[in-house]
Amino acid sequence: MNRAFLYNASANIMTFVLMMLMSVCLTPYIVHTLGVEAFGLIHLTQNMINYLSVITASLSAVVVRFFSVAAHKGEIEKAQRYLSSYFVSSIFLSISLFLFCLFMSRQLVEWLHVPGDLAKDTQTAFILGGLLFMLNFVMSGIGAAPFYANKLYVSSIGQTIQMFLRALMIVMLFTWTAPAIWHIPLAALIGSLAAMGIGIYYFKKLIPWFSFKWRHVSLSSSLTLVRSGVWHSFEQMGILLFLQIDLLMTNLLIGAEATGQYAAILQFPLLLRTLAGTLAVVFAPTITKFYSNQDEEGLIQYAASAIKWSGLFVAFPAALLGGLAGPLMLLWLGPAFEELKWLLMIHAAYLCLTLMFLPLTYVPTAFNRLKVPAVVTLILGVSNVLFAYGLTHMLQLGLYGIASAGAIVLLIKNIVFLPFYTARITKQKRTIFYKHTIVPLAGALMIWGVCAGIQAIYDVTSWWELFCIGGFCFFLYLGYLYQFAGTKRERQQLVSKVKQAVSR
pLDDT band at 54 (very low <50, low <70, confident <90, very high): low
Dihedral, 249, 251, 255, 259 alpha carbons, nearest 10 = 100
CA angle, 145 then 94 then 226, to 5°? 65
Asked if 237 and 378 count as a contact pair (C-beta separation under 8 A), the reply is yes
C-alpha angle 197/201/202, rounded to 5°? 120
pLDDT-derived band at 447, boundaries 50, 70, 90: very high
CA distances from 163 to 189, 235, 243 (A): 11, 28, 22
Residue among 91, 48, 45, 52 nearest 186 (CA): 45
Among 141-155, 239-253, 410-424, which range has the highest average pLDDT?
A: 410-424
Q: Give every CB contact of residue 116 below 8 A, 6+ residues apart in sequence.
A: none
More confident residue, 488 or 42: 42
Most confident of the ranges 22-31, 80-89, 381-390: 381-390
Q: In this structure, are residues 147 and 68 in contact, taking their beta carbons and an 8 Å threshold?
A: yes
Q: Please, is 427 exposed, middle or buried when counting C-beta atoms within 10 Å of its C-beta (0-12, 13-18, 19+)?
A: exposed
Q: 234 near 372, Cβ under 8 Å?
A: no
SS3 per-residue string spanning 221-252: HHHHHHHHHHHHHHHHHHHHHHHCCHHHHHHH
What is the phi-psi region of residue 458: left when phi exceeds 0, alpha when psi lies from -120 to 50, beta otherwise? beta
Q: Decide if 433 contacts 360 (C-beta within 8 A).
A: yes
* Backbone torsions φ then ψ of 427, nearest 5 degrees: 60, 50
Q: Nearest to residue 150, comparing CAs of 79, 68, 60?
A: 68
Residue 56 has pLDDT above 70, yes or no: no
Q: How far does Cα 352 stand from its chain's mean position?
A: 15
What's the pLDDT at 501? 47
Determine the pLDDT at residue 446: 93
Q: What is the mean pLDDT of residues 1-10?
A: 62
Q: Please state the rounded mean pLDDT for residues 298-302.
A: 83
Q: What is the 3-state secondary structure (H, E, C) of 5-45?
A: HHHHHHHHHHHHHHHHHHHHHHHHHHHHHHCHHHHHHHHHH
Taking alpha carbons only, the member of 234, 288, 272 closest to residue 70 is 288
Percent of residues, the chain, with pLDDT higher than 90:
4
pLDDT tens track for 122-166: 888 888 888 888 887 777 777 777 776 777 677 777 778 888 888
* The predicted structure's pLDDT at residue 85: 80
- What letter represents residue 349's amino acid? A
Q: Which amino acid is at 282?
A: V
Eight-class DSSP state of 112: S
Q: How many CA atoms lie within 13 A of 91 on its CB side?
A: 6
Its sign, for the CA torsion 142, 143, 148, 150, is positive
Is residue 229 very low, low, confident or very high in pLDDT (cuts 50, 70, 90)? low
Q: What band does 92 get if pLDDT is binned at 50, 70 and 90?
A: confident
Q: Report how far residue 419's alpha carbon sits from residue 266's, in angstroms, rounded to the nearest whole number.
A: 26
CA distance 319 to 348: 7
Taking the C-alpha atoms of residue 392 and residue 399, their distance in angstroms, rounded to an integer, is: 7
| Coil/strand/helix, residue 179 | coil
Cβ atoms of 31 and 332 within 8 Å: the answer is no
From CA 119, how far away is CA 124, in angstroms rounded? 9
Helices (H), 35-118: 36-50, 53-72, 76-111
What rounded mean pLDDT belongs to the chain?
A: 80
Extract the runs of DSSP E, i.e. beta strands, from 324-387.
Answer: none
| DSSP string over 392-433 | IIIS--THHHHHHHHHHHHHIIIIIIHHHHHHHHTT--TTTT
Residue type, 12: N
Q: Do the beta carbons of residue 421 and residue 428 sit within 8 Å?
A: no
| CB 79, CB 145: distance < 8 Å | no
How far is C-alpha 339 from the geometric centre of its chain's CA atoms? 27
- Identify whether the C-beta of residue 439 lies closer than 8 Å to the C-beta of residue 485: yes
158: phi then psi, degrees, rounded to nearest 5: -60, -40
> Would you say 137 and 60 are in contact if contact means Cβ atoms under 8 Å apart?
yes
| Rounded Cα–Cα distance for residues 413 and 407 (Å) | 10
